[in-house]
Amino acid sequence: MKNVCLLLISGLLALATTACQKQETPEPDSEASITNKQETPVQDQQTNQTKQTNSMTQPNQETSESTNEVAIIETNYGDMIVSFWPESAPNTVANFKKLARDGFYDGTLFHRIIDGFMIQGGDPLTKDPSKKQMWGTGDPGYTIDAEFNEKSHQLGVISMARGADPNSAGSQFFICLGDASNLDGQYTAFGELVDGIDVLQEIGNVPVTTNAQGKESLPEVEVKVEKISIHPVETIQNTE
């Protein structure tokens, strides 16, 4: 009888451990992640002040003349080409294009990599190694409203990182390394890679170490966004 009780207790402990592990599925943090809000309240206050003074700098919705465009993400590992979904997330697409045209992303790093899940970039603070402890908290000085839609987070899909507030996205984005459909309806997917999946997967295989928040997701080597540029889709098709 004693042995049976011990077996039952062991089984219950194993089930509890499995349940806890399932709940620890990582999700993209952003310039306003819950962890960072708790650890860097001063940065959050600065962000809120900046957001108020720059609220008028947010881009307008996509016009019909500008919807047929793609983005080329040039990295030190190769290029990736993004096709946008303006019909599903017009403001998000317009924001990404505006930041790209302004050179906002040039020189930033992919500062977060989770094998099989996603790579994350778009933080302007990653241009400055002295601010490494704050990587993952940067933004453009404003936030944009969420545009959750029917698009599923699958391999090659690009989406906006955000914090606890659904409307806290700014500039940081992530690209899925596989099926991340658990994020559907919670993050704004706004496009997908039409070229460069091999580059994405190579970046996804970069070894990582512990970041400032204690997570095993900081690349051990530099993964740099050299430039993001916007082009008419015809330009890309004519070079193929």
* pLDDT one-digit tens code per residue, 99-135: 999 999 999 999 999 999 999 999 999 999 999 999 9
- Strand order, beta sheet including 118-121: 112-114, 118-121, 173-176, 157-160, 189-195, 78-84, 69-75, 225-232
pLDDT of residue 42 exceeding 50, the answer is no
Number of structural domains, the chain?
Answer: 1
Q: How far apart are CA 6 and CA 68, in angstroms?
A: 65
Q: How far apart are CA 156 and CA 136, in angstroms?
A: 21
With respect to residue 76, please indicate whether it lies within any of the assigned structural domains: yes
Neighbouring residues of 128: CB distance < 8 A, sequence distance ≥ 6: none
The pTM for the full model equals 0.78
- Encoding tokens for residue 207? 């070894």
Quote the pLDDT of residue 141: 98
| pLDDT level of residue 23 (50, 70, 90 thresholds) | very low
Quote the pLDDT of residue 1: 52
With respect to residue 206, please indicate whether it lies within any of the assigned structural domains: yes
E-only strand ranges, 122-198 = 157-160, 173-176, 189-195
With respect to residue 141, please indicate whether it lies within any of the assigned structural domains: yes
Between the alpha carbon of residue 219 and those of residues 46, 77, 234, the distances in Å are 27, 13, 35
Quote the pLDDT of residue 127: 98
With respect to residue 34, please indicate whether it lies within any of the assigned structural domains: no
Q: Tens digits of per-residue pLDDT, 79-96?
A: 999 999 999 999 999 999
With respect to residue 121, please indicate whether it lies within any of the assigned structural domains: yes
pLDDT of residue 8 exceeding 80, the answer is no
Q: Tens digits of per-residue pLDDT, 149-197?
A: 999 999 999 999 999 999 999 999 999 999 999 999 999 999 999 999 9
With respect to residue 225, please indicate whether it lies within any of the assigned structural domains: yes
- Encoding tokens for residue 200? 């994405």
Q: In one letter, which amino acid is 63?
A: T
Q: Which domain holds residue 143?
A: 69-238
Report, in angstroms and rounded to the nearest whole number, the Rg of the chain calculated over CA atoms.
20
With respect to residue 42, please indicate whether it lies within any of the assigned structural domains: no
Residue whose tokens read 């930033």: 108
Q: Tens digits of per-residue pLDDT, 44-81?
A: 333 443 444 344 356 666 554 567 999 999 999 999 99
E-only strand ranges, 85-164 = 112-114, 118-121, 157-160
Q: Are the C-beta atoms of 238 and 232 separated by less than 8 Å? A: no
Quote the pLDDT of residue 206: 98
With respect to residue 18, please indicate whether it lies within any of the assigned structural domains: no
CATH of the domain at 126: 2.40.100.10
